[in-house]
Amino acid sequence: MEAQLRRVTSADVARAAGVSRATVSYVLNDTPHQTIPPETRRRVLDAAARLDYAPSAAARTLRSGRSDVVLCLLPDWPVGQEVGTLLSHLSAALARHGMTFVAHPSTRADRPVAAIWKALTPAAVLAFEEISDEEIVAMRAAGVAPLVALLGVSRERRRELEVPQQRVGRLQAEHLATTGHNRLGYAYPDDPRVAIFAEPRLDGVRAACAAAGLPPPVVRTVALEPAAAADAVAAWHAEQVTGVCAYNDEVALAVLAGMRVRGLAAPGDLAVIGVDDIPPARLCEPPLSTIATDQTQVAEHLAATIVDVIAGRPAPERPGPVLSRVVIREST
């Protein structure tokens, strides 16, 4: 019918509705302190719908100086599906607030981070990794981009979103302590890039040990290979460790593999508990106890915080404490 090759602009809508462009803008944004009679409003909305009008984000961004995009800089360590689902929920939650969520796989080495957010003029940037102070002032200076950092550790210097990583570690250790283990090990990840998450979790384990009157955990780095893990297992065994908290489920699987190499079996010789509850956790031998986190709840809180920060309001308080829970299977 109408083979439109040009973009439909608000001027087109205005023409179709027989009003001025300004009126269209007022109607479509229901600008406060503007009195529009219902009849006119209807005409404008009709025309907009009929023409399939969608405002140009570019023009709107140019005009207002900020867009409704929230940019998430992904870390350069491989993101598993738990982060994937978190982002998915986050995207949905932000959409409910009228914002568009996008993620950029960090290729930090390739391009400076600045190039990315300058190319998008997002309303907010959400990062998993530390951001340099100069970077932060630069973003603030660019006016359009308040910053939010998601870290495992809470830092006093600025307001941050904190997924309670410490609590994750504490839950692991408490579970092992209450099931009769009094000498714990910690399976630390091989990849140095995930240290931001590993450190607070380990801190949580340490805290729980101290609270339960146990000696501090025996920390060993565990690569994702049976042979390497076997060495760690042997070391724990030699130190009378009977329960191991792993950084995550994959590391836990490595520990189980290492035990197999040494002819040991969980939970008899060594109890193992992971974090994340990835699908393989329930499929391995023995099925892996782990810590599951309600990503929906985390996403909801993250979204609320982001919205508040963008609006310049102080961030809301921490999420309720029941985001994570222990999933008991047969490895403990």
Q: Which is nearer to DNA, 39 or 156 (CB)?
A: 39
Contact between 328 and a copy of itself (CB under 8 A)?
no
- Residue in 168, 133, 165, 126 with CA at minimum distance from that of residue 149: 126
**311 binds a copy of itself per the rule CB under 8 A:** no
Q: Report the residue from 120, 218, 306, 323 that binds a copy of itself according to the rule CB under 8 A.
A: 120
Q: Cα separations (Å) of 45 from 5, 59, 117?
A: 22, 20, 34
Strands 100-105, 124-127: parallel, antiparallel or unpaired by DSSP?
A: unpaired
Closer CB to a copy of itself, 104 or 159, in the complex: 104
From CA 130, how far away is CA 53, in angstroms rounded? 41
Residues 298 and 41: their CA atoms lie apart, in Å, by: 40
| Residue 138: contacted member of a copy of itself, DNA, none (CB under 5 to 8 Å, by partner type) | a copy of itself
- In Å, the largest CA–CA distance within the chain is 85
Per CB under 8 A, 12 contacts a copy of itself? no
Is residue 189 a contact residue for a copy of itself (CB under 8 A)?
no
Q: How far apart are CA 261 and CA 226, in angstroms?
A: 7
d(CA 58, CA 36): 27
Residue 121 near a copy of itself by CB under 8 A: yes
Determine, following the binding rule CB under 8 A, whether residue 6 of this chain makes contact with a copy of itself: yes
Q: How far is the CB of 300 from a copy of itself (least distance, A)?
A: 14
Q: Shortest approach of DNA to residue 132 CB, angstroms?
A: 23
Least distance CB 137 / a copy of itself (angstroms): 9
Interface contacts to DNA, rule CB under 7 A: 6-7, 9-11, 18-23, 25-26, 28-29, 31, 34-37, 39-40, 53-56, 59-60, 62-65
**Count of residues interacting with a copy of itself (CB under 8 A):** 73
Q: What's at 56, amino acid-wise?
A: S
Cα–chain center distance at 331? 28
Q: Which helix (H) or strand (E) holds 294?
A: none
| Residue 110 binds a copy of itself, judged by CB under 8 A | yes
